[in-house]
Each structure stands twice: as structure tokens, then as C-alpha cells.
Amino acid sequence: MAYSLSEIVTRFGGELLDDNGVTVSGVAPVERAGPQEIAFVSQAKYLRDIGSSQAGALILPPEGRDSSRCPRIVTSNPYLYFARVSSLLNPEPRPAPGIHPAATVHAQASVAESATIAAGAVIGEGASIGARSVIGPNCVIGEHVALGDDCRLHGNVTIYHHCVLGSRVILHSGAVIGSDGFGLANDKGRWVKIPQVGRVVIGDDVEVGACTTIDRGALDDTVIEEGVKLDNLIQVAHNVRIGAHTAIAACTGIAGSAKVGKHCMIGGAAMIFGHIEIADGVRISTNTLITKSLTKPGTYTSALPFSEHGEWLRNAAHLRNLDKLAHRIKELEKRISELEGKK
Amino acid sequence: MAYSLSEIVTRFGGELLDDNGVTVSGVAPVERAGPQEIAFVSQAKYLRDIGSSQAGALILPPEGRDSSRCPRIVTSNPYLYFARVSSLLNPEPRPAPGIHPAATVHAQASVAESATIAAGAVIGEGASIGARSVIGPNCVIGEHVALGDDCRLHGNVTIYHHCVLGSRVILHSGAVIGSDGFGLANDKGRWVKIPQVGRVVIGDDVEVGACTTIDRGALDDTVIEEGVKLDNLIQVAHNVRIGAHTAIAACTGIAGSAKVGKHCMIGGAAMIFGHIEIADGVRISTNTLITKSLTKPGTYTSALPFSEHGEWLRNAAHLRNLDKLAHRIKELEKRISELEGKK
Amino acid sequence: MAYSLSEIVTRFGGELLDDNGVTVSGVAPVERAGPQEIAFVSQAKYLRDIGSSQAGALILPPEGRDSSRCPRIVTSNPYLYFARVSSLLNPEPRPAPGIHPAATVHAQASVAESATIAAGAVIGEGASIGARSVIGPNCVIGEHVALGDDCRLHGNVTIYHHCVLGSRVILHSGAVIGSDGFGLANDKGRWVKIPQVGRVVIGDDVEVGACTTIDRGALDDTVIEEGVKLDNLIQVAHNVRIGAHTAIAACTGIAGSAKVGKHCMIGGAAMIFGHIEIADGVRISTNTLITKSLTKPGTYTSALPFSEHGEWLRNAAHLRNLDKLAHRIKELEKRISELEGKK
């Protein structure tokens, strides 16, 4: 499917310059785009790359307005514009509606006629699958799960019983929604399991990455609000609440009952203690451990800078002696003051 | 199913006060429990919350004995008591025994008559499934796996060939038991795979979280002793041994041949070097890297404290120069001693 | 299947000493090997263990040539030699070729006659499976995936559409290849998904661990070159390239568009920033965060040493005040210089 630039501008706005009637059918990086493709430059510093581009059209920031004679669309946010154009040119293929004969759908499950249930998927008793939702091959949907419209579950996703998902939710392969939280009481050295009777409740427009795990609540629910985006291999413990439109990069862990605000951005491999609150709009750097509540927006970091190993060894030895170093400094200050006093 | 408080006390002990004949059918947090529900307070500091509670009954610590006129059970460990009551009120639903027609069970596998094999599960040649065990949808049980009684495998679990699991083992979705350890020999820059001929052997009453991976041993077995509780997304490498009743939080990694003691508690995202030994009863903090054996109980930590990013930048620069800072302190001490000597 | 030592030496070289015609059918650790088994010692310091060994034969380094009268093979790299012998004695069992009746293979997929498709596997339209490749139970192979010869996919693996894999690739259970990269543009606080139109391209002889996730490229491909070995629970983000014969331990994360060189060795739980380049032959320590490009080989580290918790508390307080400590040292130096000047 190809679109003219004027069709694109009609949909998404922007200023169209030097249109030559070209139609574009795909997106590509500036350096590799061909005459049927549209490329973008998000920042002024990359404008130097466009001179040699073979792209049929460009999406440029205002500073780049006159950097090229190529047919181009000028917009204040080229990256966002590109996202929209790419979605237009790369619509998610929709499998035909219907239940594959190799799927297993419980007689008391409710599947919209326009939904697709792929081979090997297993849909439990009382589950409901909304309009146009696609359940990929070998997914397991537990009893009484409620799934909204236009959801997309890729292959091998698991949702435990009674979880509730909104519309337009995307779950990637290996994701597990609603597994038991890690709730244990200790009885003279032996662990006694605490039933996890809450659910996972996921809002509209949430995306969950591959092998990300979201545990069900112990008593209350674990809640992922609308528009949250979770990358791969993230752990969300029981009773966590993640505020709307927060994005979290891969390998991050959020411990039980933590509340993360709205519009937060959390870097990869961050760890967040349980029972704390993160304010709206907080940014947390990669590899950062957050041990207490953050009450105001800002960026928070705790990563140790890396060094060449020999240098690291020399420095690391002192890390275990910082308190002694600090005492030596204090002692020096005292001795100097004494010397100075004697003058 | 509802129980009177006297029935509960008969089962689990504790002192029953102001019983009014109420029956309870569920558990809930203090602030949200209704007249049919029982709530608990684990610590004295939360007793202030019970004044406005609508709970039908309470589980309280001895200090809370007289904090309420509500029907209540007083016990020295309210959290444990609550665990038992919740298990009583929330029994795990048991699917009907039998092999679903959409399961694939090898003719030479042995499945107890009281076991349940869900749709899409695949049971390999020579595998044996014990009494009342439940194999969830789309699980894969390899050849010659031996699974005890009353086990519960949620959907999409994988167990590789020849692994051995005890009774009452719970495996959450996405867990992988018995994958090959990361054993490689280097041949002039190319890696040669070392066959992993050991197994994974899991004791009774072990629980394994979602997407947790436990590799089979290289020559000997990887061993998870009885009562161990593993959270989600944990990596257990080949030939590791985890001692009985140890609990490990999510995102932790344990490298090859490490031996973890009994009754340890390991925080999230901890990393444990290979070929070391951790004594019984050790506690390891979240995000802590353990690089050598720990021979005595205690709590061990290595997490860098987080700061606001600008402050972190100012401090982090010095981390790479600690050795120089230490030398400067030494130098100062020498110079001061000299000055002092001159007095 | 048992082999004589002379057959083994004929295949793999090495010096055979004191052969008594023994045949060996398995490998085992020195301390537990029996008369039908062969054991190895990789380093001189372990030679003391062989005195009491019941092993039928030994693989020894040159220093151990005369440490035993047991039938033995002397070689410069016993660990590599052992890998080869173990592979000979433990050939991967090959299931019979053919498509299991409980598999679902699309009519427009192409499966080699010698390939094996296990029960519950789902092969999408246009996919091709090479000669002697084994697709484990409940795997999901997306549309137009191309898989080479002699590949081995264990149960519950997922490959998204259009990904390309070479020959002799091993994928462990729970691995996800080709999930969408974490590409998002922000539109006034809401995230807009950027279609991920690249693929994952995996070379020959690659092994991917359990629950490891490799995202497809945003525009270009994510590339894993030949001979790369990835352990469990690793995250490889979109547009990453990992150079040939690099080995990466578990729980590591590599952010988008990072380029890792050839023959690198990366420890567990390392994190690598996006858009940086790691030179060939680099080694990165466990738990190390790499925040900028590494242009030359060497070992790089950033892990904080652990301490007993009380000691850690005392030292950690100073970590947040390093900049102040450094200023106090500078101040002391000034004051001392002044005092010295006054002499």
C-alpha cells in the first residue's frame, strides 16, 4: 500500500515542501531508504546525513526545512510523525477471525465473533475475549479472564484466572500475567504460602514485553494503569500499582506494594523497593536501586561508574574503607586547626 | 464456604474474644474488609487502623488484645495465622482428574488416575505424574521426568528430560526446569558445547516463580532442597545447590556450582558468584553481589545509595579517583606529622 | 555406546599412556567416576584429587603426565578434550523425523522430510524448517520464519514472523526471538508505538538460553552473528548486533542499537547502554554497567564490593558525600601549604 505525501499531510499535518507526486510504501533509515521510502531526521545534528540519501521523501524538523530539495514534510516532532507514518505504512496484519480447530475453547467461554483464536490456544471457563482481539498460538487464558477489544496476544502468553485487561492491550510472548505473588509466612523456619486472592487489572493501551511477569495481588489487585509500556523481562510484584503512561525499560524489578506514579520513565535493570511511592514524572536511571519514596519529579541515579579492571581494583579497595578515610580527614582537620592555632 | 471463629480456633489455636457467632468466608485488608470477612494486623503500630474497620473479625497480636471489641483471635504470629486462615477460606480449586482430549500423553508415560492433564500439555515417554498432580495447559514434560504427588504446574511450564520433582511442588507459568547449563570450552576462539548430562532434582514443597530458569547439572545434578521458595525471573545455573527452606526474591542470579545454605533469605536482583558457599541462615540484601564464600550468618549488602542525578554526577566522579584521594590523605598525614615534629 | 581410549585418541589426538584396553561409556567428575567412566583434570592444582579416583581413564594436562598409573590421555587443553569426549559419549538423542499429528503446520509452510515437529508445535504460513531440525513441543514458529538445518528448539520456544536463523542453532525453552523492540514516541504524555519492521537474524551455531528475549529491529535487523552463546534470561534490544563467538552470561541486558564485538566475554547481570560500541575481545565483569563505547580489549568492571550490612551502612553514608570529602581534602592541602610556607 503506497501513499502520496499530500495524503499523509492530510492525515497527520506538517508542512509539505517540493512535493513531486511521489508515493511511499515503506519507512527506512536515511542512509538506506530508496525512492519508494520515507526517512526521518529527528535532530538537527543528523541533518548532515541527508545529502547523500536516496530516500523518496523526508520528515524533517523545522531547522532542516531548507537542508534538502527532496520532497519533505516539516514538523516539530519528526520522531512522532515518523511513528504515525510508519503505522500507516505497516499496519499490523490481522489474521482472519474465528477459532482455529486446534484451539481449545471452554464451552462456557465467550469469544467475540470478530476475534481470532489461534491453534493451540486454550481459553478457560468463563473467560471473555473482546471484539477483534487476537489470541496467538499456544496462549493460555485462565478461567474468568476478561479481555477487551482489539487486544493482541502473541504466541505462548499466559494469563491466570480472573485477571482483567482493557482494550488495545498488547502482550508479547512469554509474558505471564497473574502468577502468584511471593507471599510467605514463616513457621519456625518453614514457609507457609499465603493464598494470593487479588487479581491483575490492566488498563487500555498497555503493552507488556516478552517474558515480563506481573503477579496477582495478595488481597487487593495489582494494577497497571492505561497507556503503561513495559519492556521485556520485567518483574512486577504483587499489589504494585503503575501509574498511567509510565514507561519501564527491560530487566527492571518492582517489589511488592510499590506505587509508581504516572508519566514516569524508568531505565533498564532498575530496582524499586516494596511499599514505597514514586511521584508522577520521576525518571530513574539504568541500574538504579530506589530504596525510599520519591516525592518529587527529577532524575535519580545510583550506578557505579565502570573502570578498567585494574583501576577498579585499586579504587574498590577504598570503598570498603570509606568510613576510615572520612575519619582520617576529620583527624587531619583537627590537627591542622591545632597547628594553625599555635601560630 | 464460611467458618465460625470457634471452628477456626479449633483448627489453628489462638485466643478467641468477644465471639458473636459470626461466620467468615473470606480475607481482606483491615480498611476494606466487610462483615463476612476476617482481617489481620501483624504489628502493634497498625492497630490504630482497626477502629474504623468493618471487618467481621480480626486476627491480632497480643498487644492488640484490648484494642477492639470486634470478635477477634489473639495470636503471637498474626501473619502466619492469617496465612492458615486464608488457605482454609481460599482452597486452590482442583480441576477434575483426567487427561484432556487435547493433551498429548506418550503411551509409555505413567499418569496417576487422580492427576489432571490439561489441554495442550505434552507428556514425554517414560514420564510419571503422581497422584492429584495438575499439569496446566500447554506444559511440556520431557522424557522420563518424575513428578510427585499433589504438584501444581500452571500453564506453559517446561521440564526437560529426566528431571525429578518431589511432592507438593508448584511451578508457575514460564518456568523452565532442566535447560542446559552454560558449559563451553574454547577451541581457538570458537565455543564447543559441553553436554549437560546432570539433572535438576527438586525436593518437596518447593515453589518456583514465573519465568524462573533452573539449569540441569553438567555432570552432577542441580539440587533444590525441600521447602525452597523462588520468586519470578530467577536464574539458577548448573550444579547449584540451594539449601532447604531458603527463600529468594525475584531477578536474582546464582552462578554455576554455588552452594547456598539452608534458611537463607536473598533479596531481589542479588547476584552470587559461581563455586562459592553461602552459610546457613545468611541474608543477602537487594542488588547485592556476593563474590566470595560467606562462612557465617549475618546480613550482607553492596548496593550503592541513589541520589538526585546532579548530586550523583558530582559524587560519581570521585569514585573513579578514590585511590588518588586516599593517597592525597596519606600525603597530608605525612606533611602534618612533619610540621608537628618541627614544633 | 562404549569407546576404547585408542578410538578416542584416533578421533581427538592426545597422548595415550598405560592403556589397558578399557572402554568408557560415560563422563563423570574425578571423585565419583567409576571403572566405565572417564574423568578429567583441567589444572595442575587439582591433580592431587586423582589418587583416590576409581575412574576407568583420565584426561590430564601435560603437568599431570606422570601423576597416575591409570590409563590416561595427556593433552594441552583437557577441558576442551573432555567436551569432545563427552559429546561423543552423550550424543543428543534425535527424535524420529516427521510431523506429530498434534502439531499444526500451515499448508504453505515448508518442512524438510528429515525434520521433526513435535506435538503442539505451530508452524506459520511460509515458514521453512531445514533438514534434521527438531521443533519441540508447543513451539510457535511465525509466518515466513526461515530455520536452517540441524537446529534444535526445545519446548515452548517462540519465534516471531520473518526471523531468519542459520544452521545448528539451539534455542532453549521460553526463549523469544523477534518480539517488538521497545520503540515509542511521546505525544503530549502518551506513548505512540513505532512499528518494528526489522527482523532478528541469527547466524550458524548460535545457542540461546531459556527465557532469553531478542527483539526484532525497528527499521534494520537485530543481528546475532555465528557462534554466539547466550545464557538464560538475557535481554537483547532492537537493532543490537552481537559479534561472532561472543559469550554472554545470564541476566545481562543490552540496550537498543549497541554493537558488541566478536570474541567478547560478558559476565552475568551486566548492562550495556544503547548506541555504544564494544570492541572485539572485550571482557565485562559480572554486574558491570557499561555506559560508553569501549574501543580496546581489556576487562572492565563496576561492581561495588559487598560488606557485612553494618559496615556497609557506615561506608555507604560517605558515598553520598564524596564530593564534600574531596573538597575537604583540597582545603586541607591548601591550609597545609600555607602552614608550610610560613616555616
Which CATH number belongs to the domain containing residue C74 in this structure? 3.40.1390.10
| Of A80 and C94, the one with more pLDDT | A80
| Residue C289, C-alpha cell as written in the block | 554497567
**Rg of chain C (C-alpha set):** 27
Residue C109 domain flag: no
Q: Check whether residue A136 and residue A282 sit in a common domain.
A: yes
Nearest-Cα residue of chain A relative to residue B76: A187
Write down the mean pLDDT value for chain A: 96
Residue ending a domain, choose from A89, A109, A135: A89
Flag if A286 and C289 touch (Cβ within 8 Å).
yes
Which amino acid, one-letter code, is at A150? D
Q: Are residues A220 and A336 in the same domain?
A: no
Same domain assignment for residues C219 and C290: yes
Share of residues in chain C with pLDDT > 90 (%): 90
Mean pLDDT of B122-133: 98
Question: Do residues B79 and B104 both lie within one domain?
Answer: no
Q: CB C286 to CB B269 under 8 A?
A: no
How many domains does one find in chain C?
3
Among residues A308, A306, B187, which one has the least CA distance to residue C247?
A: B187
Q: How many CA atoms lie within 13 A of A126 on its CB side?
A: 9
- Residue A341 pLDDT > 90, yes or no? no
The residue count of chain A comes to 343
Question: In C, which residues are within 8 Å of A211 by CB distance?
Answer: 174, 176, 211, 213, 233
Confidence of residue A343 (pLDDT cuts 50, 70, 90): low
At B51 the pLDDT is 85
B48 and B179 share one domain: no
pLDDT-derived band of residue B343, with 50, 70 and 90 as boundaries? Answer: low
- Chain B residues whose beta carbon lies within 8 Å of the beta carbon of residue A174: 174, 211
Question: Does residue A163 share a domain with residue A28?
Answer: no
Distance from CA of C87 to the nearest CA of B (A): 6
Judged on CB neighbours under 10 Å (0-12, 13-18, 19+), B312 is: buried
* Contacts of A144 by beta carbon, 8 Å cutoff, 6+ apart: A124, A125, A126, A127, A161, A162
Please determine, for residue B210, whether its predicted confidence score (pLDDT) is greater than 90. yes
Q: What is the pLDDT of residue C317?
A: 87
C333 and C230 in a single domain? The answer is no
Query: Does residue B224 sit in the same domain as residue B327?
Result: no
Query: B222 and B178, same structural domain?
Result: yes
Between B191-200, B292-301, B333-342, C153-162, the lowest mean confidence (pLDDT) is in B333-342
Q: B293 and B313: one domain?
A: no
Q: Which of B61, B307, C184, C216 is nearest to A299 (CA)?
A: B307
Per the CB < 8 Å rule, is C233 touching B220?
no
Domain-located, residue C152: no
Same domain, B296 and B337: no
For residue A340, the model assigns a pLDDT of 86
H/E segment holding residue B9: helix B5-12
Interface of A with B in 210-269 (CB under 8 A): 211, 213, 215, 219-220, 233, 235, 237, 251, 253, 255, 269
Average pLDDT of chain C to the nearest whole number = 96
- Chain B residues with CB under 8 Å of C136 CB are 140
DSSP line for C324-337: HHHHHHHHHHHHHH
- What per-residue confidence (pLDDT) applies to B92? 87
Confidence label for A5 from pLDDT (cuts 50, 70 and 90): very high
**Residue B250's CATH number:** 2.160.10.10
Considering the domain architecture, whether residues B250 and B146 belong to the same structural domain is answered as: yes
Highest mean pLDDT among A313-327, C39-53, C155-169, C314-328 belongs to: C155-169
Question: Would you state the pLDDT for residue B25?
Answer: 97
Cβ-Cβ contacts under 8 Å, C303 against chain A: 304, 316
Q: Report the C-alpha gap between C274 and C289 in whole angstroms.
A: 11
Q: Which residues of A are catalytic?
A: 238
Provide the edge-to-edge strand list for the sheet that holds C26-27.
C15-17, C72-74, C57-60, C37-40, C26-27
User: How many percent of chain C have pLDDT more than 70?
Assistant: 100
Q: Which residue has the cell 525429578?
A: B164
A251·C255 Cβ contact <8 A: no
Q: How far is CA A279 from CA A262, C49, C136, C191, C314, in A?
A: 8, 59, 46, 19, 29
- A211 with C339: Cβ contact below 8 A: no
CA nearest C232: which of B177, B319, B272? B177
Coil, strand or helix: which one is B337? helix
Cα–Cα dist C184/A82, whole Å: 11
| Per-chain mean pLDDT for chain B | 96
Residues of B recognised as catalytic: 238
Nearest to C219 among A29, A120, A263 (CB): A29
| Distance of alpha carbon B7 from alpha carbon C322, whole angstroms | 61
Q: Read off the pLDDT of residues C60-93 as tens digits, 9 standing for 90 and up.
A: 999 999 999 999 999 999 999 999 999 999 998 8
| Domain end marker among B32, B55, B89 | B89
Mean pLDDT to the nearest integer, A271-280? 98
- What pLDDT is attached to residue A93? 86
Determine the distance in angstroms separating the CA of B299 from the nearest CA of chain C, rounded to an integer: 5
CA–CA separation, C129 vs B144, rounded Å? 27
Average of pLDDT values for C114-135? 98
Q: What are phi and psi of B198, to 5 degrees?
A: -80, 180
> What is the DSSP-derived secondary structure letter of residue A28?
-
Q: Which residues of C touch A207 (CB under 8 A)?
A: 180, 193
Residues 311-340 of B with CB under 8 A from C: 311, 314-315, 317-319, 321, 325, 328-329, 332, 335-336, 339
- Is B214 strand, coil or helix? strand
Residue A342 above 90 pLDDT? no
Which residue among C140, C185, C288 places its CB closest to the CB of A155? C140
Query: Alpha-carbon torsion B106, B111, B114, B119, what sign?
Result: negative
Separation of alpha carbons C42 and C64, rounded Å: 10
Whether the CB-CB separation of B35 and B57 falls below 8 Å is answered with no
- pLDDT tens for A65-77 read 999 999 999 999 9
Tell me the C-alpha distance between B5 and A77, whole Å: 64
For the four alpha carbons of A307, A310, A315 and A316, in that order, the dihedral sign comes to positive
C-beta atoms of B320 and A315 within 8 A:
yes
Q: How far apart are the first and last CA of chain B?
A: 88
Q: Is A182 on the interface with B (CB under 8 A)?
A: yes
**Given C154, C162, C172, C238, which residue is catalytic?**
C238
Cβ distance of C77 and B185 shorter than 8 Å: yes
| Range A322-328 average pLDDT | 91
Among residues B44, B72, B89, the one where a domain terminates is B89
Average pLDDT over residues B256-282: 98
Residue C43 has a pLDDT of 86
Range of the domain at B320: 309-342
Q: Is the pLDDT of residue B24 over 90?
A: yes
